Amino acid sequence: MIKMERKIISLILILSFSLLVVGCSQEQVEFDKVTLGAETSLLTAAVWVAEDQGYFQEQGLDLTIKEFDSGKASFNDMLNGGVDISTVAPTPIMFNSFKRQDFSIFATFVDSNEDVKVITRKDVGINSAADLKGKKIGIVDGSTSQFFLGAFLIYTKILESDVETVSFIPSELPSALQNGDVDAIVIWEPHAYNAINLLGDNSLVIPSSEVYTETFNLMVLNKFVEDNPEIIEKFLMAVDEATNFIKNNKEESQTIVAERLNLDQEIITTLWDDFKFKISLDQSLLVTLEDEARWAIENDLTDAKEVPNYLDYIHLNTLEKVKPEAIGIIR
C-alpha cells in the first residue's frame, strides 16, 4: 500500500514538473510579429524556401506574407503602412526617391540578366529589335518593365517616340499580346513564360540579356528598422539561410517554389538558372539607381532635376551584423 502511494506521489510530481516545464517553455517562446509584401514570382524564391523550411520561425518570427502581382505594388503597400517589409526591383525605388526619403534598402537577395524579356509576335512583322519602330508595346508603368524598355530602345538605337506604350498590370500582358492589343510586351517571369506558351511558334524573344541586370531588394521604412532592428536582423538571417539551402539543394528548392507558386515543375526548372540567389549590397545597385534616375529626369518622368544620393537610401547596419563580407558598397 505504501509502495503504491509512493508511486502515485511520484507520478503526480513528474506530471506536475512536466506541466511546469511546458508552461515555462511556452512563456519563454515569444515570436515577433512582422508582415512581408512579396511579389509572387521566382525572384522571391528565397522567401518561399525560408517559409517552407521554417527558417523564420527558427529566428523567432511570426511572419505573415501578403502576396502581390509586382514588386511595385508590394513597395507601395509598405509605403502606405500595409506591410513592414517589401520585395522590389530598383525602378519603383527610384521613382519614389524623388518624393520621399523615409525608406531604405537593407539587402539585395537575388539578381538576374534574364528575368525581364522583350516578347513579340511574328505575325505582325517583328523579327528583330529594329522592327519595333511604329509598334505598340505593353509595359507596366513605374516598374522595371518601363525602365527596361527605355534602356532597350537606347541599346538598339530606337527613339522612344518611335514606339507607342500601353500600360497593363503584369498578369494581363500575356493575354494582351495574344489578343493583339499590343505588338510586343516587356515583362518578367513567370509572366514572360506564360506569354511564350500562349503564342507558341508565333512568339519571338528578342535578345536583351546585355541591357540590364535586375536586382530584387528588401525594403523597410526607416522608422520600422529604427524601432525593430532585431526583427530585421532575424528576417535577414532567415533569408540568408534560405539562399544557402538553395545553393546546396537545387532540385528540392525548385519543387518548393513550384508548389508555392502553383506552377508546373517544368517552368521552374527551365527558368531556374537565370537567377543568382545571394545576399548582398553592391556598388552596382547604386549605379543602377543613379542611371535610372537620370533616365527619368531626361524623359520628364519626374519634376526633379537632380539625382538623389542613393547612399542615403541604404541601410547597412543589419547586413554588417549578419554577413559583413556581402557588402560591396564604397563608403
CATH of the domain at 306: 3.40.190.10
Q: Residue 23 domain-assigned?
A: no
Report the alpha-carbon distance of residue 170 to residue 185 in Å, rounded.
Answer: 10
In the listed set 206, 224, 258, which residue is the last one of a domain according to the structure? Answer: 206
Residue whose cell numbers read 511595385: 72
Helix pair angle (283-298, 90-97), 10° resolution:
60
pLDDT of residue 28: 56
Does residue 104 sit in the same domain as residue 171? no
Q: Residue 124 domain-assigned?
A: yes
Q: Residue 251 domain-assigned?
A: yes
Report the alpha-carbon distance of residue 65 to residue 71 in Å, rounded.
Answer: 13
Angle at 70 between CA 68 and CA 73, to 5 degrees: 70
Q: Residue 11 domain-assigned?
A: no
Query: For the segment 211-241, what is each residue's pLDDT rounded down to a tens digit?
Result: 999 999 999 999 999 999 999 999 999 999 9
Does residue 85 sit in the same domain as residue 191? no
Which of 18, 45, 170 lies closest to 111, judged by CA?
Answer: 45
Instruction: Return the SS3 of 120.
Output: strand
Is 116's pLDDT higher than 50?
yes
Of 26-30, 120-124, 202-206, 242-246, the range with the lowest mean pLDDT is: 26-30
Report the alpha-carbon distance of residue 12 to residue 65 in Å, rounded.
Answer: 44
Q: CB neighbours of 256 closer than 8 A, spacing ≥ 6?
A: 48, 49, 52, 53
Query: For the segment 285-315, what is each residue's pLDDT rounded down to a tens digit?
Result: 999 999 999 999 999 999 999 999 999 999 9
Q: Residue 277 domain-assigned?
A: yes
pLDDT band at 17 (very low <50, low <70, confident <90, very high): very low
Total structural domains within the chain:
2
Q: CB neighbours of 199 closer than 8 A, spacing ≥ 6?
A: 119, 121, 177, 178
Q: Residue 5 domain-assigned?
A: no
Residue whose cell numbers read 537620370: 294
Instruction: Return the SS3 of 75.
Output: helix
Q: Residue 6 domain-assigned?
A: no
What's the Cα-to-Cα distance from 193 to each of 109, 201, 266, 325, rounded to whole Å? 22, 13, 11, 35
Angle at 241 between CA 73 and CA 229, to 5 degrees: 65
Which of 165, 213, 171, 163 lies closest to 195, judged by CA?
Answer: 171
Does residue 128 sit in the same domain as residue 76? no
pLDDT of residue 295: 96
Does residue 161 sit in the same domain as residue 253? no
pLDDT of residue 331: 78
Does residue 319 sit in the same domain as residue 222? yes
- H helices of 139-264, in order, are 144-155, 173-178, 191-199, 222-227, 229-248, 250-261
Give the distance from CA 303 to its chain's centroid: 28
Does residue 232 sit in the same domain as residue 302? yes
Contacts 24+ apart (CB under 8 A), 27-31: 29/60, 30/60, 31/57, 31/60, 31/61, 31/62
What's the Cα-to-Cα distance from 35 to each of 66, 113, 217, rounded to whole Å? 7, 29, 16
User: pTM higher than 0.95 for the full model?
Assistant: no
Q: Can you give the residue range of the structural domain that contains 124?
A: 117-206
Is 133's pLDDT higher than 60?
yes
Query: For the segment 18-27, what is each residue's pLDDT rounded down to a tens digit?
Result: 444 445 444 4
Q: Residue 20 domain-assigned?
A: no
Query: For the segment 149-198, what is each residue's pLDDT rounded down to a tens digit?
Result: 999 999 999 999 999 999 999 999 999 999 999 999 999 999 999 999 99
In the listed set 178, 206, 234, which residue is the last one of a domain according to the structure? Answer: 206
In the listed set 147, 174, 206, which residue is the last one of a domain according to the structure? Answer: 206
Does residue 308 sit in the same domain as residue 232? yes
- Side chain identity at residue 204, one-letter code: L
